[in-house]
Amino acid sequence: MINKLALIGVGLIGGSLARALRDAGHVREVIGYGRGLANLQRAVELGVADRVETSLSAAVRDADMVVLATPVGCMAEILEAIAPYLAKDAVVTDVGSVNGTIAEAARSALGEKLTHFVPGHPIAGTERTGVEASFSSLFVGRRVVLTPLPETSAEAMTRVRAMWQAAGAEVVSMSVEHHDAVLAATSHLPHLLAYALVDMLAQLDDSREIFAYAAGGFRDFTRIASSDPVMWRDISLANRAAIVKMLKQYQAEVNGLIKAVAAADGEKLLTLFARAKAARDALVTNDQK
């Protein structure tokens, strides 16, 4: 049971976590922090937060669980700001998509309190943002990756794991480095490709006609280009080494595709398409189990 949850950032992820914990009876009080007063007031109206603060020190005071649910680029500054005000037993975790830079920031800011820091990342979300987009079942059956540091205590891990399990998630753990490499391939690369494709087509002279004929396939493929641009700018910069590596691999794949199409190499195209279809079908099958 969490007595007082300090939610730093009350949007889709933070709001959905608060809703889920309330439904599970796993939290007694939720304090929301953010810079947008209208969004904070809406969080109270929706029952996501009991009360809100616009001061970080006031938000984390006496909290036994602090969840950072802000864009990755803000977290170093926030960790520095909250460190002096954290309760002795407070556990701090985050929902960032890049754990390496956040772990570095925590090591710099928290000092001895680093033992109570657990980097985390829920593999869940939608393209919508804000507390009104939040819903309690967002994490049900979804994976949450925890990437404990060598300094992270077993107690802190247990408490964060229990929190996410109460929200309905499947909790797994791995190293910070492995997490960032995996997410560069499975999440960061697809988002960058979706943004790039939509931007390319939007700049064509006949873009209006092109978008007018956009069918389900195009909309499915590019849905994630409606995600928060600030968040994805921060993720791209924070995980740039792993992302650049994946972009170069994809570039090599596209170059091979160009050659196959230009040479009318139907056999190569069929092999590529069949291999990709088999991998995608297996993924869907595993998701349905």
Res. 269 pLDDT band, cuts 50 70 90: very high
Q: In the beta sheet, which residues pair with residue 157? A: none
In the chain, residues under CATH classification 3.40.50.720 are 2-174
Closest CA to 183 of 118, 127, 100: 100
Rounded distance between C-alpha atoms, residue 103 and residue 119, angstroms: 7
Residue-averaged pLDDT of the chain: 94
Report the side by side order of strands in the sheet with 51-53.
Answer: 51-53, 27-33, 2-8, 65-68, 91-94, 117-118
Domain(s) labelled CATH 1.10.3660.10 in the chain stretch across: 178-288
For 74-98, the pLDDT digits (tens) are 999 999 999 999 999 999 999 999 9
Residue 132 in tokens = 């009104």
Tens-place pLDDT, residues 210-227 = 888 888 889 889 999 998
Single pTM value for the model: 0.86
DSSP type of residue 186: I
Beta bridge partners of 203: none
> How many C-beta atoms surround the C-beta of residue 218 within 10 A?
15
pLDDT category, 117, cuts 50, 70, 90? very high
Q: Which CATH architecture has domain 2-174?
A: 3-Layer(aba) Sandwich (3.40)
pLDDT above 80 (res 175): yes
Has domain 178-288 been given CATH number 1.10.3660.10?
A: yes
Q: Which of 69-73, 91-95, 136-140 has the lowest mean pLDDT?
A: 69-73
Arithmetic mean of pLDDT, 107-117: 96
